[in-house]
Structure formats: C-alpha cells, structure tokens
C-alpha cells in the first residue's frame, strides 16, 4: 500500500508505533521498523545516556526508519 505516510517516511505499511514511555524501547521500535512500519522510542522520561543506549541498540537491530 502506498500513500502519503508511506512515501513521507519511506516505510512499507502506513503504521506508526506509539511512543509509549518505558514500553516502546529499542526492541519494540526495531521490530516495528523491521516489519515495515515506523518504529519509535518513547524517550519522554529517559535520561540522555539511557536514550543514547536505546538509539545505538536500535541502529544495530535495524537499518530501516
């Protein structure tokens, strides 16, 4: 399926994961991205060093948005 969302974010499916604090970490974000959606890390209450770690792990787990 192609639409504005899939074109804008260069994803396969028009699914954007909710950024739920402490639930949507790097594992969920990379799984959603690998499945063709847009994975998000819920970083609202993370300390900068914890967020940095989640970003690094997510980058290793997927090369998709």
Instruction: State the total domains in the chain.
Output: 1
* CA distance linking residue 36 with residue 48, whole number of Å: 27
Residue 24 corresponds to which tokens in the numbers above? Answer: 């949507």
Domain extent for 24:
4-61
**pLDDT tens by residue, 11-24:** 999 999 998 987 89
> Which of 20, 21, 50 shows the shortest CA–CA distance to 58?
50
**Cα-to-chain-centroid distance, residue 49:** 18
**pLDDT tens by residue, 11-65:** 999 999 998 987 899 999 999 999 999 999 999 999 999 999 999 999 999 999 9
């Amino acid at each position: 399926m192609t639409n504005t969302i899939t074109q804008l974010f260069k994803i396969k499916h028009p699914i954007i994961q909710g950024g739920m604090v402490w639930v949507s970490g790097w594992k969920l974000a990379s799984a959603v991205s690998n499945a063709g959606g847009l994975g998000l890390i819920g970083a609202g209450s993370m300390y900068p060093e914890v967020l940095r770690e989640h970003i690094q792990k997510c980058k290793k787990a997927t090369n998709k948005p």
